[in-house]
Amino acid sequence: MSIKNSLTMPLPIEKVFRDPVHDYIHIQHKLFLDLIDTKEFQRLRRIKQLGTSQFTFHGAEHSRFSHSLGVYEITRRICDKFVRNFPASEHGESGWDDSERFVALSAALLHDIGHGPYSHTFEEIFETNHEALTVSIILSPETEVHQVLVKVSSDFPEKVASVIQQTYPNPQVVQLISSQIDADRMDYLQRDAYFTGVNYGNFDLTRILRVIRPSKNGIAFQIQGMHAVEDYIVSRYQMYMQVYFHRVSRGMEVTLERLLKRAKELYHEANPPLAVGLLEPFFTETFTLNDYLNLDDGVLTTQFIHWQSHPDPILSDLAKRFLNRRPLKSIMFNSETDQAAIKKLQQLISSAGYNIDYYTAFNNSYDLPYDFYRPNKQGPHKTQIELMYPEGEIVELSEISEVVKSLAGKFSGDERFYVPKEFLEFSEDAELTLFDPLVKEFRNYIKNGTILVVEKKIKRS
Amino acid sequence: MSIKNSLTMPLPIEKVFRDPVHDYIHIQHKLFLDLIDTKEFQRLRRIKQLGTSQFTFHGAEHSRFSHSLGVYEITRRICDKFVRNFPASEHGESGWDDSERFVALSAALLHDIGHGPYSHTFEEIFETNHEALTVSIILSPETEVHQVLVKVSSDFPEKVASVIQQTYPNPQVVQLISSQIDADRMDYLQRDAYFTGVNYGNFDLTRILRVIRPSKNGIAFQIQGMHAVEDYIVSRYQMYMQVYFHRVSRGMEVTLERLLKRAKELYHEANPPLAVGLLEPFFTETFTLNDYLNLDDGVLTTQFIHWQSHPDPILSDLAKRFLNRRPLKSIMFNSETDQAAIKKLQQLISSAGYNIDYYTAFNNSYDLPYDFYRPNKQGPHKTQIELMYPEGEIVELSEISEVVKSLAGKFSGDERFYVPKEFLEFSEDAELTLFDPLVKEFRNYIKNGTILVVEKKIKRS
Amino acid sequence: MSIKNSLTMPLPIEKVFRDPVHDYIHIQHKLFLDLIDTKEFQRLRRIKQLGTSQFTFHGAEHSRFSHSLGVYEITRRICDKFVRNFPASEHGESGWDDSERFVALSAALLHDIGHGPYSHTFEEIFETNHEALTVSIILSPETEVHQVLVKVSSDFPEKVASVIQQTYPNPQVVQLISSQIDADRMDYLQRDAYFTGVNYGNFDLTRILRVIRPSKNGIAFQIQGMHAVEDYIVSRYQMYMQVYFHRVSRGMEVTLERLLKRAKELYHEANPPLAVGLLEPFFTETFTLNDYLNLDDGVLTTQFIHWQSHPDPILSDLAKRFLNRRPLKSIMFNSETDQAAIKKLQQLISSAGYNIDYYTAFNNSYDLPYDFYRPNKQGPHKTQIELMYPEGEIVELSEISEVVKSLAGKFSGDERFYVPKEFLEFSEDAELTLFDPLVKEFRNYIKNGTILVVEKKIKRS
Amino acid sequence: MSIKNSLTMPLPIEKVFRDPVHDYIHIQHKLFLDLIDTKEFQRLRRIKQLGTSQFTFHGAEHSRFSHSLGVYEITRRICDKFVRNFPASEHGESGWDDSERFVALSAALLHDIGHGPYSHTFEEIFETNHEALTVSIILSPETEVHQVLVKVSSDFPEKVASVIQQTYPNPQVVQLISSQIDADRMDYLQRDAYFTGVNYGNFDLTRILRVIRPSKNGIAFQIQGMHAVEDYIVSRYQMYMQVYFHRVSRGMEVTLERLLKRAKELYHEANPPLAVGLLEPFFTETFTLNDYLNLDDGVLTTQFIHWQSHPDPILSDLAKRFLNRRPLKSIMFNSETDQAAIKKLQQLISSAGYNIDYYTAFNNSYDLPYDFYRPNKQGPHKTQIELMYPEGEIVELSEISEVVKSLAGKFSGDERFYVPKEFLEFSEDAELTLFDPLVKEFRNYIKNGTILVVEKKIKRS
């Protein structure tokens, strides 16, 4: 009991972390200091927030550590607004009960704790799941995170985990952490914009924080803030189009995916088996939580440095391509209409001596692990954004915003076919180029960066 | 010859990299694209610019890659100014010969290519030298960097290396890259300010670029820019005081140093010897350039992850302290007057069961590898900053700036004694603290974060 | 001839103006220095860019002077890009002829020279036209502007004027100054965002400047810049919705309009006639260009200070309301369906003792002097925005952008009915409010800031 | 009593003003809304903050209105910090009594209410005093400001006035508004930097707000903030050197001063007397508070527009020079050693046909109405800046900061002699210049923008 007090009582002196995006992160309770000091949270310093985007936007080298602090800070500011303007004591069910602050802020801080290196690709290859791992880290008695949380109360870890899982009974808390316009997204749009150096992510955060309010069913926005919310949606759309779905980052992603795929084959088939270091439990599918917590970006790249000098030419080549940023290059295509052309192109690449299992790939940006605003789609995340009139009436955002309506319910993104660079790049040193007939024929199928439909192609050639 | 042309002729379409500090990095010649694409340059992505400062300023996760691009860009902008306003054709020896652009920009891009992970500490332990390694990378026929440079002309690598070594005959080129106010410093002050989130580094770069000019002896600044240059000097001083010399970052540095020191001992003495992975050639002092180029931050931390579970309790403990950011803490002292007190404190720490060879350390910020403005001191870097009147007369900066004079020729910084945290931190959970007599006695020697001189101490206790 | 050279030859030393938005405005030819130094251009310092918006956004006190410099600077940067990347010598009709620089930059600098104080309202009351006046200032031999321009060549003033009038033969020049995405709009969006403190206007200018290019029919944007152009359109839409159409600024505008209307009546009817100072030639409709050039914001407000103590109670009251920022307040309505309700409300206001000719007003944001993106509408400004594929094919923006399509061709904005404040504001001092039956009845007609349709209203009351 | 409550009770909904410098100004009590709505406060919109600096930095068009809101906001944030961290209830005399908030914030908002147009020059010519006028406005029963304040309590206006006069008993309140590092200076440095576009004023405000604290004798700063305070002092010094003392702004100031001086003479001597509009009570030295409150920047410039066409050639010429930004130009001199040279130069100017009483002027930046850090000088403003150790010991800033010590107690600035432009500017059109012997001789006395001492001059000629 006295322990609990020491964790959740206000610190006599507020502690701050200097943050380039939010100026200061304010820590006002020992609970959060202790969570930040755990080894599981510190590990997030060694995992980059944007994975392969750093290869397109060289400034984007920030970690999940700084993002997690940012989500905490935005949630904290919202709690402060809520308790000042809409306390449950006055607003009942539409108000905010400030005793929820601790579970909300803990979930904010820990929501990405289960992420590993290059999550998207890693999860695909090794069938891990960062959300399930987040929950495990919170619930496992062996973790330092759990040991801090359980000091608050014996059911506190469960509560925090249930916010992540979106089963926590108070929808306000759940939506602060996971909804179309939550603290997570608000931080990453601004942070990723800051570090990449683009300004598409710069929606008006202070205005959003002025108009956000608790409601009976979760969170809502005062009607006068409609354009600020609209602007946030457009910012998000722009960040997806211009940053998260960038073709070169995806090129690095498919290169990584091909590399790990090759490693997996060699591990099981080569003799002697491929050395894989700290990754071994993942190749053997016997990993423990502790094995997982030993992983970070550096563990992967260290392995790749070893593999660079491995005798398998494909493994070493792909390792070098990833380490030295020599991604596969891409053209757009339509998976429904362009199958014949794709087949032909694969043959050409194969004829040029490439193993197309490792040197070509398909990638579409739809199945990237980001959810864009699609209120019609089913799924737990897809709460709609609601605006509230002074009298309390609610209206859904896309009903009153033409701009949001134009974006809602539509898939954005594209499908791309990745191939070795020489098939697509025109060299400036004409005399050095091996401009052989295969490449020449290949290029007959391409126009404006897109595979030509067959009819057009025939006419052209 | 035709090859040379293709490298140094203007690209038909300028290529840009989005940069959060300079907006865009403009690449206008294939030479620089090719240098950036080398594996040695790409490796800089995996080495953080500020080493352990990231543990104090969590935003400071940027790499030497982005800094190197920034130095290139500032140099490029200066070359553009020089050739427009002060071409050698009109200004003779005081003017700029634009054929120097290629050697200047190559040196700008490559000036940090020899850096390794946590250079300061690494170099101390393993006796490497990043400047010598930079020269080696430029001159060794085996590197991709050399292979690109030599295509310009057979003596081009030598020229670029001589700029780094400050022996290149044209002092303008040398001073652009290495002087009290060079493109290197201009970039890192702004970049480190941007990523840490402090604004001390924000001097007026565009104004500096307005007033910089070539002179017979190197570079100078037009007199009307005096206050902008003065402001740059103060910015730099502030960044050293507030960021580079931060006591916590230095605490992580001494922790790292103790860890590597322990590893070195175990490697040579333990049986079986300690596994050290890609670091082996450094433990055996047999490393090649290629071994060095295999190193990066991740290689070190991956090794530390392995060492965390090593049976040696000191090694595993120090590895965890570094990985989980649990640095030694410090008090200020005066190495000339406080030797007796230090001895006493070491005894107390030793009595508490700590091996003081690994759990205490001295660190002064004077011998950090940063040179502050000290025009009186000898050394190749210490060119003075010169201002030029319209009629051509030259005056040295500190002669006309009281502010700079107050900073010049004085050592800034402090000496610190690092000890385990519990000797210095007052716990908020009074009832949980092992407030034992050793700690209590220790604290009698401390006031205002400084070791008391013995007389005072006695009076107090 | 020698004079011409001195105006259009590069200045030996570039001159700069420090600008908070573009950092520096670079003046490279004496022609532009001389234009800036004319009394007609200096007068723009005394005319605020955003008129009554300053009463909503207190930072928006910037003048048309700084905006005009900004338009010049953006145009200059575009010319530099054009001549470097797309010179007519290589690209023919699709390229840029840099001899057009002088006419383009002169038009950029002078495009707003004919603006007067609070243009929108002033033009409505006194039937002036700032575009026609701009042309007059350029063409009249008596102005300093003309005297500078004519030194370039005898037909140079005509050429500059024809760019403003959009009759200049080179469509590239015309579209740089007047099109849906011209230097004028690019500057004002960024500048108004900077000074108001909102960030909706922060589209990615440097990216736009990367992708803009000359084309045969004017200007176009390279296809890879589609999202940047899309973002600009959304920025513009947001600035209109959130800043330019703000109801309080419009409230000040209708207050000003009512004030000048009353003054006009008194001038013609009162005995002795109203003293109107430098405005006299406008009341008598006999003004000369010189009379017009004597006007500025201060001339108007000085007159209002005099009128504050005029015996006519309406004139003095409206003057005080404008000077002391006490605007009429508003509700939304629909001019097609709410005529009956409006009538009733006017009766109530009249019954309360207000002259509804001066104390009520209608205002819709559609007829504000800003054109939003409406490609279907006829008119000289409505050139569409075109994107160009590498092979030269052109596509219109809204064809490939869902977001732009959602905004194109639709009227945005609203209709508002302005009334004295006490009919709409709920006082916090309940006991002080004259909450009389008229006000109470008035409020029965209002909900959510909008006039209720009559059926609803009846049900409610 | 009930009225008082309504003014000082928290507003149910906080009201905000968007501010480009502080993001939002938060108004939490009706008292401050009512003060802002007074006609005396609204008048500040029509008075520029920086007077003639706008003619050097065209962005600096912001008003005393926005600055006054900024000072309020910084004071409000400090009160919030004080009451959270150092309440009087816990810290006694070294703590903050939050009932002082109302008097502190009222004084913050009103501290510049007595300013008039181009105060410095106006006060010199017409012998007004903005501080005395501020007190009058607060105390006169006729002003709206007074009428609002007196509703709080009958002695409240007196209290607020005494803070301005620095006689209020609580030194914390006095120093928040007037000291070497008060809310006034903190706002204007940042605001003036923002609007001019220079970045010298960008000290670390959030850090200062972290370390500021109440003390028994006023305000102090926690020792760990030393470098942030030091940086603020340097920022201030830089702003004075680079912005406030700019020679061109001072050239406009002396031009204005000469113009008003001439008007004064003509008013008293000409027949018919000069028409001076709303300025009349100041020419006759019979002005009332109300006359003063009718003045603003526009009233002055409107008068100048009239004077432009006055038959007196000196008056009309000086009016045009001011309106059209054609200031006198300057050279540096030393009033102690250069009297002989000055005499000679005046003779030359006189011989060229200029009346030196109106076309030359002396100006030194020492007597500009800005106090720089001079702790040794006597005067009520010159409280020193104090830093506090955790144990409570106090140290004065310049004792521990070399940089501040270098600036303290020294006069910065220069003395300048202003003359007609043609004596100093070298025309680029050599053939057009009337390079007559007078000008030629004049220039023999000048070198590096400074008057040569006589010996040198003789040798040279």
> A134 versus D450: which is more confidently predicted?
A134
Smallest Cα distance from C323 to chain D, Å? 8
* pLDDT at residue C453, rounded to an integer: 57
Say yes or no: D394 contacts chain B, CB-CB below 8 A. no
pLDDT above 80: residue D438: no
- Would you call A206 and D13 a contact, using CB atoms and an 8 Å cutoff? no
pLDDT-derived band at A411 (thresholds 50, 70, 90) equals low
Lowest-confidence pick of A363-367, B229-233, B316-320, C56-60: A363-367
Mean pLDDT of chain B: 88
pLDDT above 70: residue A453: no
Say yes or no: C429 contacts chain D, CB-CB below 8 A. yes
What average pLDDT does this structure show over B117-134? Answer: 94
- Would you call A298 and B294 a contact, using CB atoms and an 8 Å cutoff? no
| Residue B409 φ/ψ region, left for φ over 0, alpha for ψ in the -120 to 50 degree band, beta for the rest | left
> What tens digit of pLDDT does each residue of D206-234 get?
999 999 999 999 999 999 999 999 999 98
* pLDDT at residue D85, rounded to an integer: 87
* pLDDT at residue C264, rounded to an integer: 95
Smallest Cα distance from D317 to chain C, Å? 13
- Would you call D14 and A85 a contact, using CB atoms and an 8 Å cutoff? yes
Say yes or no: B326 contacts chain D, CB-CB below 8 A. no
* pLDDT at residue B2, rounded to an integer: 46
- Would you call D210 and A24 a contact, using CB atoms and an 8 Å cutoff? yes
- Those residues whose C-beta lies under 8 Å from the C-beta of residue D457, and which sit 6 or more positions away, are D341, D444, D445
C-alpha A93/C-alpha A114 separation (Å) is 33
* Cβ count within 10 A of residue B322: 25
pLDDT above 90: residue C269: no
Nearest chain C residue (CA) to B85: C13
Do residues C420 and C358 touch, judged by C-beta distance below 8 A? no
Of D57, D69, D299, nearest to C18 by CB-CB distance is: D57
- Would you call B24 and C85 a contact, using CB atoms and an 8 Å cutoff? no
Residues 437-456 of B with CB under 8 A from D: 447-448
Residues 83-142 of C with CB under 8 A from B: 84-85
3-state secondary structure chain A: CHHHHHHHCEEEEEEEEEECCCEEEEEEEHHHHHHHCCHHHHHHHHCECCHHHHHCCCCCCCEHHHHHHHHHHHHHHHHHHHHHHCEHHHHHHHCECHHHHHHHHHHHHHCCCCCCCCHHHHHHHHCCCHHHHHHHHHHCCCCHHHHHHHHHCCCHHHHHHHHHCCCCCCHHHHHHHCCCCCHHHHHHHHHHHHHHCCCCCCCCHHHHHHHEEEECCEEEEEHHHHHHHHHHHHHHHHHHHHHHCCHHHHHHHHHHHHHHHHHHHHHHHCCCCCCCHHHHHHHCCCCCHHHHHCCCHHHHHHHHHHHCCCCCHHHHHHHHHHHCCCCCEEEECCCCCCHHHHHHHHHHHHHCCCCHHHHCEEEEHHHCCCCCCCCCCCCCCCCCCEEECCCCCEEEHHHHCHHHHHHCCCCCCCEEEEECHHHCCCCCCHHHCCCCHHHHHHHHCEECCEECCHHHHHHHC
> What tens digit of pLDDT does each residue of B161-184 get?
999 999 999 999 999 999 989 999
Say yes or no: A210 contacts chain D, CB-CB below 8 A. yes
**Neighbors of chain C by Cβ distance (3+ pairs < 8 Å):** A, B, D
Beta strands in D73-217 (DSSP E): 212-215
* pLDDT at residue A410, rounded to an integer: 67
- Would you call B197 and A23 a contact, using CB atoms and an 8 Å cutoff? yes
pLDDT-derived band at B382 (thresholds 50, 70, 90) equals low
> A426 versus D234: which is more confidently predicted?
D234
C-alpha C317/C-alpha C381 separation (Å) is 40
Lowest-confidence pick of A71-85, C94-108, D423-437: D423-437
pLDDT-derived band at D399 (thresholds 50, 70, 90) equals confident
pLDDT above 90: residue A139: yes
What are the φ and ψ backbone dihedral angles of B180, each rounded to 5 degrees? -60, -20
Nearest chain D residue (CA) to B409: D402
* pLDDT at residue B442, rounded to an integer: 80
* pLDDT at residue A409, rounded to an integer: 64
Enumerate the residues of chain A whose CB falls inside 8 A of the CB of residue D14: 85
> What tens digit of pLDDT does each residue of C387-439 get?
998 878 899 888 888 888 877 766 677 899 999 988 887 544 443 344 467 77
> What tens digit of pLDDT does each residue of A52-64 get?
999 999 999 999 9
pLDDT-derived band at B152 (thresholds 50, 70, 90) equals very high
pLDDT above 70: residue D395: yes
pLDDT above 60: residue C207: yes
Interface test with B, best of D402, D452, D460 (most B CBs within 10 A): D402
Do residues D87 and D95 touch, judged by C-beta distance below 8 A? yes
Please report, to the nearest 10 degrees, the dihedral formed by the alpha carbons of residues D35, D39, D41, D43 taken in order.
170
Enumerate the residues of chain A whose CB falls inside 8 A of the CB of residue C402: 406-407, 410
Report pTM. Answer: 0.91
What average pLDDT does this structure show over A53-82? Answer: 97
* pLDDT at residue C369, rounded to an integer: 31
Smallest Cα distance from B414 to chain D, Å? 14
Say yes or no: C156 contacts chain A, CB-CB below 8 A. no
> What tens digit of pLDDT does each residue of D103-118 get?
999 999 999 999 999 9
Locate B111 and state its tokens: 């000036």
> A335 versus D5: which is more confidently predicted?
A335
> What tens digit of pLDDT does each residue of C361-379 get?
999 886 433 344 444 554 4
User: pLDDT > 90: what percent of chain C?
Assistant: 67
C-alpha A398/C-alpha A237 separation (Å) is 14
- Would you call A200 and C199 a contact, using CB atoms and an 8 Å cutoff? no
Say yes or no: B19 contacts chain A, CB-CB below 8 A. yes
Nearest chain C residue (CA) to B16: C210
Say yes or no: D414 contacts chain B, CB-CB below 8 A. no
> What tens digit of pLDDT does each residue of A304-334 get?
999 999 999 999 999 999 999 999 999 988 8
* pLDDT at residue C409, rounded to an integer: 64
Residue ranges and CATH numbers for the domains of chain A are: 2-243+388-407 (1.10.3210.10), 246-327 (1.20.1250.30), 331-374+415-461 (1.20.1250.30)
Nearest chain A residue (CA) to C235: A231
Of C13, C85, C206, nearest to B24 by CB-CB distance is: C206
pLDDT above 50: residue A374: no
Angle at B111 between CA B108 and CA B116, to 5 degrees: 145
List beta partners, residue D219: D214
What average pLDDT does this structure show over B99-125? Answer: 96
Lowest-confidence pick of B217-226, C239-248, D340-349, D360-369: D360-369
pLDDT-derived band at D368 (thresholds 50, 70, 90) equals very low
* pLDDT at residue C36, rounded to an integer: 98
User: pLDDT > 90: what percent of chain A?
Assistant: 67
Interface test with C, best of B13, B15, B23, B208 (most C CBs within 10 A): B23
- Would you call C448 and A389 a contact, using CB atoms and an 8 Å cutoff? yes
> B18 versus D374: which is more confidently predicted?
B18
What average pLDDT does this structure show over D381-403? Answer: 83
pLDDT above 80: residue B439: no
> What tens digit of pLDDT does each residue of A272-291 get?
889 999 999 999 999 999 99
> What tens digit of pLDDT does each residue of A224-272 get?
999 999 999 989 888 998 999 999 999 999 999 999 999 999 998 878 8
- Would you call B227 and D234 a contact, using CB atoms and an 8 Å cutoff? no
Strand (E) or helix (H) holding D363: strand D361-364
Say yes or no: D206 contacts chain A, CB-CB below 8 A. yes
pLDDT above 50: residue D455: no
* pLDDT at residue C457, rounded to an integer: 40
- Would you call D24 and A210 a contact, using CB atoms and an 8 Å cutoff? yes
Of B14, B84, B206, nearest to C23 by CB-CB distance is: B206
* pLDDT at residue B448, rounded to an integer: 72
* pLDDT at residue B411, rounded to an integer: 66
Say yes or no: C223 contacts chain A, CB-CB below 8 A. yes
Say yes or no: A346 contacts chain C, CB-CB below 8 A. no
* pLDDT at residue C6, rounded to an integer: 84
C-alpha C428/C-alpha D3 separation (Å) is 11
Of B198, B204, B447, nearest to D200 by CB-CB distance is: B204
Say yes or no: A298 contacts chain B, CB-CB below 8 A. yes
pLDDT above 50: residue A368: no
Say yes or no: C393 contacts chain A, CB-CB below 8 A. yes
Strand (E) or helix (H) holding C361: strand C361-364
Mean pLDDT of chain D: 88
